[in-house]
Every structure is written in C-alpha cells, then in structure tokens.
A and B are shown apart, each in its own frame.
Chain A
Amino acid sequence: MNKLDTKFGEYGGMYVPELLIPALDQLEQAFLDAQKDDSFQAEFMALLKDYAGRPTAMTLSRNLVSNPKVKLYLKREDLLHGGAHKTNQVLGQALLTKRMGKSEVIAETGAGQHGVATALACALLGLKARIYMGAKDVERQAPNVFRMRLMGAEVIPVNAGSGTLKDAVNEAMRDWSANYDKAHYLLGTAAGPHPFPTIVREYHRMIGEETKAQILEKEGRLPDAVVACVGGGSNAIGMFADFIDDPSVRLIGVEPAGKGIHTSEHGAAICTGSKGILHGAYSYIMQDSDGQIEESYSVSAGLDYPAVGPQHAFLADTGRAEYVAVTDEEALNAFKLLARKEGIIPALESSHALAHALNMADEAEDETIIVLNLSGRGDKDLGHVINILGDDY
C-alpha cells in the first residue's frame, strides 16, 4: 500500500498495468527516504546551485507594462542551465535513479526541453539515457534533438498515433514495463501515475520558494498573482506550491488555446473540462464522446498535451487556482513583445503565460504585483517562429 496520498481529491491515482506497481512503489519509497536523507538533499542542493545556477534571478520588467499601477516581475527560469525549469526536477530524479541502483533512464519529451534536461543530467551523473520523442516533434525541434544526441542520449522518434508528446509517453511507459529492473522512467511533468505528480512538484517547488523570498525582499509583501503556463503543469505547480497556503496570492495557470478553444485545435484540457484517465492519472483530458484521446494542438510543442497534472485539476475544482487559455496568436505577440521591450526571447510555452499577464496588467485598476514564471528561453523555438512570422516581426 502507498505511504503518501495517491490522489488530489478525486484526481490522480495509479491507473497503470499491474506490472508497473512494484516499480512505482519502489520509486515512492526511494523518494520518501531521500527527502529525509541530509546527504541526498545536500547533493541535490549543490547541483542546483553550482551546476544549474540557482537561485535564478527575478527581473522587474522595465518597458513591457504601460499601466503605472502594475509591477510585472519575471522569474527567470530561462536562465537556468539547460534553458528551462526542467533541469530542477531532472537532477532530483537522476539522483533518485542512482539511489535505486538503476543505471538507465527512459524519458519522453515534447518540445525537447525535458529531453535536453534529462540528457545533461545523465551525462553529468553517468546514466544511460534513451528519450522517446514524437516524430513530428523531432522535426520541429531539430536543435534540441542535436543537443540531446551531443550529450550522449539516444533519441527514439515515435511514429505511432499523432507522433507527439502523448505518443512518446505511451512508448516510454511500454519500454519501462519491460525494463523497470534496471531503468528508471524519468517522467517530465507533474502528470502521470502517483508518485510522479508529487515528486515533480517537490523537485520544482524551489521556484515558488525563491520567488517568495525575492518578492518579500524587493517589495516587502507577497505578490497579488503568480502566473505560469500549463501543459502537463510542472513549472506552474513548482511556482504555485509554496503559495497555495497564501490565499491572498492568486494562482493563475495558462493553457494553450491553439487556434481557439472552440476549434478542435487546442490543448486546453482544464478549460474545456472533460474528465478521464490518461497516462496513469484521472484528471482533465481531451477526448471524444467514446473516450478516445484526442490529439491536442499548440504552436508550442511543450504545451501540446491532451491532459494535465492531477493536482491542477484539483486546484481548478476547488477554485484555489484559476485556469485560462491563450491562443497561438496571442502567445506569438507576447513572444515578440518581450524580445523587443526587454531584450529577452522567451520560450513559446512561457509566452502563453506572458500574454495573459500582460492582459491582467492592462486591466488592473489597483496597485498590483504580478510574478510571471518565465519557464524557458526561446532559442529552441527560433526555427519554428521564423517559419510562422517570416518578415512580420
């Protein structure tokens, strides 16, 4: 039986083949032991500080916001080694892999950011990585594929299904079913079966903890809102975790509306509100009237996922967090704006959150402090954005 709660309200759980239960139990035990083990924590903290570059900066935007009542801070996860927040929890899980005596790592990746983070952690810690990536994503994220291979990871394109992140997760779970004895499945987001949503949250919670300390130092008070993009939801849960018990702080998750949530081309699982099971967890998912999983869509590969982490589903239902959706077009506008006004090129994922934060800033009537989690940098997206924008920037 489990030592931690496996569910968030009705969400979450362990909807996986019986075969994987011992591997998930082993992981839960290793995580719990590691949480209490000072030497593990010291090694994790040292890697975060000396290798990955924590704490990351928090930058007050200078030119982006015209409303004088609003201060918009950017939590700079884009400055983390690897180019996105993903490195945090990957280092934690890579250390857990070693702790469990396993030598191989299986991972899935959408945008390639989790794959890159996995590849760098495995290179550093001497683990053998194989990374499943939808064939379509392999094409649209070519530089990240090269990065992973350069750092010694094997990248395996997945042609099954829609050839995107959900199919890569399926394939990674299949591989794990056969190889759990020697391989750890290093899941890349706060979704999947227990204990992944809990582990991923705990290994990203320093994002919110640092934010809290930094804002208290700069402003002497908590922010009015923290805003983060939500695909599976790892950077958002990392930002939210330390603020959940601070009711004055609005927690706002921004889903990808793609070409509009009233079209079939989006990835806004919470905003469109249909519940079901995908990849081991009960949560909000995108499905048809028979329960077949629908293909999601977003300009941003990292948000192109037809489900969401179970804790977000719970936070949405209880009203503790709010979830909105932002279209491709709005995200691209925010992407251009941040580059032009602040000299920062954001990831397309983070651009979704930025677009919403800018709307909030425009509409604010009172003194307002907003912290945006700038979860990644946009270098990886340049090829894709050039194709979309052409000369229009």
Chain B
Amino acid sequence: MARYEAMFERLNDANQGAFVPFVMLGDPDAETSLAIIRQLILSGADALELGIPYSDPIADGPTIQGASIRALEKKITPSDCFAIIKSIREEFPEVPIGLLLYSNLVLKRGVETFYQDAHAVGVDSILIADVPLREAESFIAVAEQNNIQQILIAPPNASDETLRTIGEKSSGYTYLLGRAGVTGAETAVEIPASELINKLTQYHVAPPLLGFGISTPEQVKSAIDAGAAGAISGSATVNLIAANLDDQTVMLAALDQFVRSMKAATVKG
C-alpha cells in the first residue's frame, strides 16, 4: 500500500487527523536541515511536506521566501535536497514524504529525470505550486509512470468543474487552500465551509489536508472538526527555525514542543 494510504488508514483507525509540517530543504544549511526533519518525525509528524529552495517563489510569503534565501545562500541545489531526503528515507521507511516546489526546477532537470530521481530517494508525492490543473496533464502522466502521486490544489474559489477534475486525477492527498493569498502565518486560515468539504467528498477527491495560515493547535482542531483529513503548517514551523538560527538545541526543542502540541490537536472527539 502506498505510504499516504497507509497513513490515512492508521490515523482513521486511531481516530486522528494528520499533522503535516512543512520545512524548506537545506534551511538553514544541509546538516541542520537533516536534524530538523528528524526532529519533526520523532516529535510526531504524520507526514512531511518539504520544499526545494527557489529564487522566485510567487506563491510564498516572506517567511518561506526567507527559508529559500537562507538555503540558496548556502548553495543548496535540488541534488543536495534529494540527498537529504535519501538519508531521511533510510532512517524512516514509513513516513510519507511530499515535495512542494516550483515548475522551473522540475523542467530544468527534465521532468522525467526529476520524477525518477525523486522516486529513487523515496519521495511519495510532488506538488508544483505554479502548475494548476490546466497545465498538470503532462506532469501527472510522468508521475504515474514513476510511482509518484501528483498532489493537486483545491482553492477556496474552485469551480465545480475544477473540483470534479481533482476528483478524477488526485491521489495521495488533496492540498486544500484555507484562504486566498500566499503562504504565511500572518494571515490566519479560514476554516472552509462544510459545503466545500462536502463537495470534495462528493467528487471523491483524495483526502484533503488544509494548509495556508495554520499556526495553532486550535486551527488544527477546527480543520479536522470541519472534515479535513488533517492540516499542514509551513510558515509557523519555519518561523521557529528562523527565530533560533544561532542555537540548534533551542531550535529543535521549540520544534519538538510545537509539533507535539499540533499533533495532540489532531485527536478527534
């Protein structure tokens, strides 16, 4: 069974939602990044969403942009990122790992090569922030050939036509956008109307994880109460890295506490 499906089955049996933190690979450097990701898993992250640093991240607010800049200043390349994932995968064979990145990094490596390399190091899913459904066809085809699940985004303003297509093509999970705008903890998530969640169910989309503006356990709980399969938190996680760049011990302790509190909020009932 694919790792996401196994995770959702396990969580379902345990009556829990998923908590998925996002961090940028190579932020603030390759070695610390590896320690950060290990910490996230040990503290209870159900899956990981990992970014590859990019020069022009149009869907990201200042926090995630800052993470990209720190990693790029350390000359982190996509190959360095794959090496970090490989280490994580060897140590943690079960945790689902998703990549979240921008299209030009995929194109430059060659779409086929990129997906092959990602699969080879143990990546489960790929979400390309600037490839909407309308441009996704060729990427989905390559993903399927390489046992990668292409993650699709369901925005709050999606038409029924879009949701129907997501239902037909999504696998792994569906990234449910909690609000308009770019990534960032500054603007809080809006918990989607049950109407939208119902539509997602109706169109049989892959389990929706709510993201954008999630930074507190209360928001995680509300997301799951509203019917989301879990929540993704990027900027709040990255903020803890940015705030503790001079002391790795304090950074990892802060991440530990954060992930534990967010994970605790996924327990239903």
Which residues of A line the B interface, CB within 8 A? 1-2, 6, 13-22, 160-161, 166-167, 170, 173-174, 177-181, 275-280, 282, 285, 287, 289-293
Contact = CB atoms under 8 A, between A and B. Distances in A.
B104 A278 contact: yes
6 contacts: A14-B134, A16-B58, A19-B155, A174-B60, A291-B107, A292-B72
Contact of A276 (B104, B177, B187): B104
B56 interface: yes
Contact of A19 (B60, B62, B157): B157
Contacts of A6: 134
Given A170-B58, A180-B180, A292-B54, A276 B135 contact: no
A174 B135 contact: no
B158 A18 contact: yes
B152 to A, nearest CB: 8
B108 A15 contact: no
B160 interface: no
A13 B135 contact: yes
Interface stretch (B39-47, B124-132, B249-257): B124-132
A17 B129 contact: yes
A259 B40 CA distance: 48
Contacts of A1: 134
Nearest to A275: B107
Contacts of B222: none
Contact of A160 (B65, B103, B131, B134): B65
Contacts of A2: 134
A177 B59 contact: yes
A276 B132 contact: no
The 10 closest A-B pairs by CB, nearest first: A291-B108, A178-B181, A18-B153, A292-B55, A18-B132, A19-B155, A291-B104, A291-B105, A293-B55, A174-B182
Indicate the member of B59, B72, B105, B153 with the most A CB atoms within 10 Å: B59
A177 B105 contact: no
A82 B109 CA distance: 43
B72 to A, nearest CB: 7
Contacts of B181: 174, 177-178
B58 A289 contact: no
A198 B68 CA distance: 33
Given A177-B181, A278-B104, A21 B132 contact: yes
Most chain B Cβ neighbours within 10 Å, of A160, A179, A180, A291: A291
A21 B134 contact: yes
Contacts of A280: 130
A17 B103 CA distance: 11
A161 B180 contact: no
Contacts of A178: 180-182, 187
Given A277-B104, A277-B130, A292-B54, 12 more contacts: A15-B131, A18-B177, A21-B162, A170-B58, A174-B181, A178-B182, A180-B180, A276-B104, A276-B108, A277-B102, A280-B130, A292-B105
A178 B187 CA distance: 10
Contacts of B58: 16-17, 170, 173-174, 177, 279
A182 to B, nearest CB: 11
B105 A15 contact: no
B118 to A, nearest CB: 15
Interface in B129-154: 129-135, 152-154
